[in-house]
Amino acid sequence: MDVLQTQNLNLTPVANDISHPIPTSNRFIYYAAISAIAIGVWLFHLPKRDPHVTVPFYAVSRIKWMFSADTLVRDSYRKFRDSAYQIRSTEGVRTIIPPTLVGELKGLPEDTLSAKTAVSEAMLSEYTHLSADAHSDILTLLLKTKATHNLQRMVSALKEEFQFILATEFPACEDWTPFRIQPFMVRAVSRLSGRAFVGPSLSRSEEWMSVSVNFAITAFIAVTKLQFFPPWMRPVAQYFVSELRTIRKDLAKAQAMLEPLIEERLNSADTASSIHTTSNLTTDCIYDLAVHQDMQDVLREEAVEVFAEEEAWDRKDSINKLKKMDSFIKESQRLSGNITSFIRKVMKPIDLSDGTHLPSGTSLLTPLAGISFDERYFPDPEVFDGLRFWKLRQQQQSPTPTRPSSPTPLTQAPSTETPKTPSKSATTGPSSSPASSQTPLLLNSSRYHFTSIGDTNQNFGLGKHACPGRFFAAQEIKLVLAYLLLNYDIKLRDGEARPKPVVFMMTKSPSQTAEVLFRRRKAA
Ligand code: HEM
């Protein structure tokens, strides 16, 4: 049993009783078999003993977390839904907060509920030196102020950059041509983001590409390797993790490349990982387009309308007119998005309205993979409906504003980011931000935008640390999809199903090896 406790967590962040009595006669064989697996998997490391949990079960639940965290989160959420409960992760117990309670937490200050501490712990910053530090505050500020506005003005330049990437790294596709889209998309997004953030001189440099693409992968491998060792061994174990040296070298390289360009040295770690989040979602959208041929027609028609004249690429509002595409991307993200969200560490004890007590030191997560399949919020959750959110936006055209409430089914009165203790910065974004807290009407009609966040909309997180790069990501993904749809037909091989995602620990990524067929469209 991996799910430990339903609610009223007035306990240390460890489970209550989940021990399974094993007859003494079988105990030796049982322990020997499971221990052999545990030893193999954990490189002879037995995790810290917990007085309530037997080592074998600990190992089993950790293995489950490693290879099927999405199923674990989805199944446990289905069971407990509106209650807080606990799960064992590879790094210890995590308390899972449902959407009905998260509103009480998302506006809390950093000294009570910390995102930075949680991220630093998850990244094992002590060894990797990757952390949500002062640099990420600067980056967040830049993203919220300058970057998104600049991007809207840069659409035309980015289109040119994408054309260049297609010309140099994409097959001609005169007839149906199989192509592994995932690796291409990583490079394409790296180039596009590089063009926006560091300019054309660096964005086309292979050295920059290599650092920016590989950085997040190297960091992920380093963290995973370190996690195999118990915390007390890590001060020594770090010297066996070669990726830690690569991280340091890559950071030095990035700084050397950036120094001539900017006075302020930013840690490139945040933007490096965003290349993967953005390219993963773009790849998922392409897999979904390949499966849902009818959506290609619908979205192409919209793109043709918006970009009827070449000058439309120069208009900063053009991309925002792609409303059906906005819905399609959000639906793709709903079904393929992250497993959990809202990673936070409790710094001061918190009592929730249902009696749940969260002692300081508790590590929190929200069950995103479960919420996305909750039929109360998303009717027919298993069905891919590319226009789901567009239809809801159409229904929302009604002029009667409704005060947001928390959380509501998507078929009923909608809400957006609605902290009980409202966090102003949680909704701060560019002026075009749908999450602006200025007018209730705007709040309502924006609930279904790809970039909207809310208690049941946590793909970009929640509260004041919600992703500030989501507006940027939206522009990039729409540009790439619109351009591809205008110029190519897309399909899977006959009889092939949608490529399956790869799940490893908390990460879910689209298949890196699947091939999609592209054929260049004849000019009309
Ligand atoms: C589809 C693409 C993306 C997804 C799914 C995504 C998702 C997320 C999530 C879940 C968080 C954590 C939020 C929280 O804890 O409440 C986050 C934080 C962040 N993201 Fe993104 N992101 C994406 C693209 C980007 C891009 C393109 C950038 C930058 C150009 C970016 C920059 C950041 C930064 C700086 C933070 C840290 C914010 C803070 O701690 O205050 N992200 N992102």
Q: Does ligand 1 have an atom closer than 6 angstroms to the CB of 461?
A: yes
Location of structure tokens 């006075």: 263
Same domain, 328 and 297: yes
User: Measuring CA to CA, how many Å separate 383 from each of 5, 374, 380, 450, 460?
Assistant: 31, 12, 6, 18, 22
Q: Please give the share of the chain, as a percent, with pLDDT higher than 70.
A: 73
Q: How far is CA 132 from the centre of its chain?
A: 16
Closest residue by CA, ligand 1 atom 2: 278
Q: Does ligand 1 have an atom closer than 6 angstroms to the CB of 363?
A: no
Q: Please give the share of the chain, as a percent, with pLDDT higher than 90.
A: 46
- Mean pLDDT for the stretch of residues 95-108: 96
CA of 141 to the centre of ligand 1 (A): 13
Atom number in ligand 1 closest to CA 459: 10
Residue 56: give the domain boundaries: 1-132+339-371
What was the pLDDT predicted at 257? 80
Q: Does ligand 1 have an atom closer than 6 angstroms to the CB of 466?
A: yes
Of 15, 173, 189, 157, residue with least CA distance to 95: 15
Q: What's the mean per-residue pLDDT of the chain?
A: 79
| Residue 20 confidence (pLDDT) above 60 | no
Same domain, 93 and 138: no
Per-residue model confidence as pLDDT tens digits over 244-277: 999 888 888 887 887 666 544 444 555 767 889 9
Per-residue model confidence as pLDDT tens digits over 313-344: 888 789 999 999 999 999 999 999 999 999 99
What was the pLDDT predicted at 417? 45
Same domain, 66 and 181: no
pTM tops 0.90, yes or no = no
If pLDDT is split at 50, 70 and 90, which confidence band does 53 have? very low
Same domain, 294 and 362: no
What was the pLDDT predicted at 7? 43
- Who wins on pLDDT, 496 or 433? 496
Cβ-based neighbour number of residue 387 at 10 Å: 17
Same domain, 147 and 275: yes
What was the pLDDT predicted at 496? 97
Count of structural domains, the chain: 3
| Residue 446 confidence (pLDDT) above 90 | no
Per-residue model confidence as pLDDT tens digits over 350-402: 999 999 999 999 999 999 999 999 999 999 999 999 999 999 999 887 655 44
Same domain, 405 and 472: yes
467 is in an annotated binding site: yes
Q: How many CA atoms lie within 13 A of 78 on its CB side?
A: 10
| Residue 302 confidence (pLDDT) above 90 | yes
- Who wins on pLDDT, 119 or 439? 119
Angle between helices 269-291 and 323-336 (to 10 degrees): 100
Same domain, 326 and 345: no
CATH number, domain at 302?
1.10.630.10
Check: CB of residue 103 under 8 Å from CB of residue 420. Answer: yes
- DSSP state, residue 497: P
- Tokens representing residue 38 in the block: 């545990």
- Who wins on pLDDT, 193 or 425? 193
What was the pLDDT predicted at 372? 96
Closest residue by CA, ligand 1 atom 28: 469
Check: CB of residue 466 under 8 Å from CB of residue 115. Answer: no
Count Cβ atoms within 10 A of the Cβ of residue 216 and give its class: 0-12 exposed, 13-18 middle, 19 or more buried: buried
- Who wins on pLDDT, 73 or 3? 73
Q: Which residues contact 88 (CB under 8 A, 6 or more apart)?
A: 2, 4, 15, 53, 58, 61, 62, 65, 94
What was the pLDDT predicted at 426? 32
End-of-domain residue from the set 317, 348, 371: 371
What was the pLDDT predicted at 50? 40
What was the pLDDT predicted at 492? 98
Q: Which residues of 319-348 are buried (b: 16+ CB within 10 A; e: fewer)?
A: bbbbbbbbbbbbbbbbbbbbbbbbbbbbbe
| Residue 45 confidence (pLDDT) above 50 | no
What was the pLDDT predicted at 418? 36
End-of-domain residue from the set 371, 387, 420: 371
Query: Among 49-63, 269-283, 345-359, 486-500, where is mean pLDDT lowest?
Result: 49-63
Same domain, 277 and 389: yes
- Who wins on pLDDT, 287 or 129? 287
Same domain, 415 and 490: yes
Q: How far apart are CA 68 and CA 85, in angstroms?
A: 18
- Mean pLDDT for the stretch of residues 185-208: 83
Q: What number is the ipTM of this complex?
A: 0.99
Considering 25-39, 138-152, 154-168, the range whose residues carry the highest mean pLDDT is: 154-168
- Mean pLDDT for the stretch of residues 293-316: 92
CA of 73 to the centre of ligand 1 (A): 21
Cβ-based neighbour number of residue 311 at 10 Å: 10
Atom number in ligand 1 closest to CA 474: 1
